[in-house]
Amino acid sequence: MNLVEYAENELRLAGMYDEDSNYNGMIAKAVVEIVAVFAKQGHSGGSASVVIPVLNKLLQYEPLTALTYKLDEWFAYTDDPLRLQNKRKSSIFSDDGGLTYYDIDDPTNDTRAKP
* pLDDT higher than threshold 90 for residue 114: no
The domain spans of the chain are 3-59, 71-110
Strands (E), the chain: 74-79, 82-86, 92-94, 102-103, 106-110
Query: 115 pLDDT exceeds 90?
Result: no
57-106 confidence digits (pLDDT tens): 999 999 999 999 999 999 999 999 999 999 999 999 999 999 999 999 99
User: In this predicted model, what pLDDT tens digit does every residue of 24-37 receive, in sequence order?
Assistant: 989 999 999 999 99
